[in-house]
Structure 1
């Protein structure tokens, strides 16, 4: 080993220690309830394959996570009454999960998903990067400088390095907070163009959901401002690209992206009436399992029932209960696969509660005599979500049209006073959209369902599980990632060290002499939308897994991540050998 290689290894060992210390940045000071999922096995950074896992750990080959975004057990209870039969999830109750983020007892979806994807808590709005020290809960330590904004390896990325197939399924845009946290690293969840680029170059095997607008440049009808067409990148990389239910169902093998809406997919209750060409969540889940299970090394799959959250934001009980039942159908598909397979772990849990739904409200003075019919009959007459009603109302926001649509789609004869109240809430600067206004008035006057907020809530959420060695009891959301990594045979800290080396730790900054020496680097921000890291004569476009050197393009095992807040750039460790001509 020459001196240069020795120095590189020493630098990586220093980085190992720094990242190990940084891990405490989001750790609870009283860690009596924390669990160590590091395992007793050794993982090698050339492949991160587990070489000495105990035989018992080999029982789990596949991992499926299912997240009903933004809900609580009240939704599950209502869904059981509404459906008239037990749910799949009823058989899987295993424990509870705490949800707080680094900066608030009430998390948002991006920080929550980051926690169970990476094993680290982070700041609300961040996507699988280390937290800021601007605001930190009193029970947590302040993050170290090294930890702030640093990309954090996810269980999807770790699974991919183990040779497993990977998949993401959602009814939102796939660039929305929860799926984004498994395949991208940004400090602003709204930066969906950047999220999409990273997701494409992460080489996720199967992606189903909405959000095609973030693949396509503005001049072609999309939302991308960098003029890149990522659909072409997918096709060049051998993906099948589909945009309808029938096309998806006809897939039989190979890698696939299916984006079925420019933005979000439709609520499940609206799908038949408004967009019958869109697949259901259970259909997307089933097809993803069919494709991913063809990988002999196993797979990791995330499935999100994205819109339970939006239903609860809108305080719309029929939207919430029908999307939750659609989620339960997806869980059933996953469990049936796991039952037949015998080596699959299924974990389901909300990322947080939203809306604070109660069965019983302050307008229901006779709550001790509430019947099942009182609870479900008003909902049974509803054939669209409140968002669907608003779409049917369209631009004719008149009293008569509101009455007509409520009668047609919800079976409700709204009074003049109720319609007046809807319009007052909608028009008088209360900040509520028409669907929110409709739900607020109709809930209060025609249902026994109550709500505490249009926002998120901070309580623990249910944990549902099926499969060998599944967890039970109370977990913090960060512990889920460590548990998955252990069972899948890798270590997240090893994965972090392999995928995200801070470039200044292994290369020298450009000295400004007008040319880059072999071991000097420069971040070229000439195009702010398409930064390029240059190391010697190698070019690495940011947010891709591409290295170009002497006219040859190499695909890396991870993506290049730029953290604008710190000016730091992170590279997969294999870049060292490529730049130095060892590969």
Structure 2
């Protein structure tokens, strides 16, 4: 009798466990589906690729700390966290280097191949390889490139041009005008910096674009007033100022993204848009946590704009990632188990901006008092003054940055790139294809599939 009761009890427990397991699994699966397949599960009509240049996982973690409400127990999710789907491998195919640069990584995401560092959508034989932007244009879709760097910098260049070297800036700018698909310019909307490369002694590309029907704008006001479906906007000689250093006359990444979406979305055949938060990378190279978080905020707002558009549209696939991580950025340093966002928030301008003010003749004390809300220690002030006495901008910039890094608990291991995997975020009908551990080439190859 006792044995019979034991058998019945065991069977009951197994059945109950199975039911609970099935229930738990289904709940988890539903949650994952909700998370990764947000949006309409139908056809992809529009594709938006967003790239946070240099934005390794420590950057998105630090941004989460920056956005956290200290009066709640849990750390709130950021716009990035809500759409996280996986990680991407970034290595190049280079005979001398196995950590990627922006050109090789962007080529992987634009053309779906591995190649050497410095390549702009050419393979290792230096032959041009078709890009997703070109594929979209061949299909009659509208196309756009938006960046906070010069628009002919490595990442946007890899989507809209071909060159054996990322440093051939003039040739890349020429490609934007000269290279045609079905008798039309490849890129309908081009927004960012770079007047230096478009208005040159040997050629004025701005006039060329205007003569071909493009509206040319140079300020936020002109950008917001644009009603032309072909648009060239150049807002700085090279890269735009960092986000917290910009005047109102210079558009934010959100402003440029909004303007691009308004124009491109009018095309009945759909559109392809690449948006780059270019200077997260530049901040990482400079080991500047203030600029890095300023650029992360600029990028996050642009992402929010894109997500809102995609939610309303229902047939837009968004994928966001980084080309690589820059600077070996760390949350925590020197054995201290603390990260202090308030130290970064105390800066009203970047260390770069402050260093320029001092270099231009303003006193160290006046500049720091005007743009920083905390009081500098005697030791911190002495280090900055010593750097200023050397009459070297980079030395001064580094000294100011290091005060903020130290107070915040931010570390850097290099002024270059690192080879770690980078996060991937997605929203739209086919987001599941970007989930898990993928290769950066998968991004282009999946987008090619959407465009067929």
After TM superposition, the structure 1 = structure 2 runs for residues 292-371 of structure 1, keeping only pairs within 5 Å, are: 292-362=264-334, 364=336, 367=337, 370=338
Contact 1:129-1:152 at 8 Å conserved across structures:
yes
2:371 pairs, out of 409, 424, 432, with: 409
Contact 1:168-1:302 at 8 Å conserved across structures:
yes
Higher relative contact order (CA 8 A, sep 6+): 2
Is 1:473 aligned to 2:436, yes or no?
A: yes
Contact 2:290-2:401 at 8 Å conserved across structures:
no
Partner of 2:31: none
Q: Which is further off, 430-439 or 177-186?
A: 430-439
2:127 pairs, out of 150, 157, 160, with: 150
1:255 pairs, out of 224, 230, 245, with: 230
Deviation string 1:290-323 (CA, Å, 9 cap, x unpaired) is: 1001111100000000111111112222211121
Partner of 1:239: 214
1:93 pairs, out of 73, 84, 101, with: 84
CA distance in 1, matches of 2:204, 2:365: 44
CA distance in 1, matches of 2:385, 2:438: 44
Is 1:280 aligned to 2:263, yes or no?
A: no
Deviation at 1:416, TM superposition (A): 4.8
1:113 pairs, out of 106, 111, 123, with: 106
Contact 2:110-2:132 at 8 Å conserved across structures:
yes
Partner of 2:167: 190
Contact 1:72-1:353 at 8 Å conserved across structures:
yes
- What secondary structure is seen at the aligned counterpart in 1 of 2:340? helix
How many pairs are equivalent?
396
After TM superposition, the structure 1 = structure 2 runs for residues 37-48 of structure 1, keeping only pairs within 5 Å, are: none
1:264 pairs, out of 206, 215, 239, with: 239
Deviation string 1:361-391 (CA, Å, 9 cap, x unpaired) is: 0163xx2xx3xxx512211211111111112
CA distance in 1, matches of 2:42, 2:377: 63
* Structure with more helix by fraction: 2
Deviation string 1:90-118 (CA, Å, 9 cap, x unpaired) is: 11101100011112221111111011101
TM-score, normalised relative to structure 2: 0.83
Contact 2:289-2:404 at 8 Å conserved across structures:
no
- What secondary structure is seen at the aligned counterpart in 2 of 1:345? strand
In 2 relative to 1, CA 119–317 (structure 1 residues): closer, same or farther, beyond 3 Å? Answer: same
CA distance in 2, matches of 1:414, 1:290: 46
Contact 1:169-1:208 at 8 Å conserved across structures:
yes
In 2 relative to 1, CA 440–156 (structure 1 residues): closer, same or farther, beyond 3 Å? Answer: same
Partner of 2:449: 486
Deviation at 1:326, TM superposition (A): 1.3
- What secondary structure is seen at the aligned counterpart in 2 of 1:64? strand
Deviation at 1:433, TM superposition (A): 4.4
* Alignment root-mean-square deviation, CA: 2.1
Contact 2:111-2:444 at 8 Å conserved across structures:
yes
Contact 1:343-1:468 at 8 Å conserved across structures:
yes
CA distance in 1, matches of 2:62, 2:293: 7
CA distance in 2, matches of 1:65, 1:405: 39
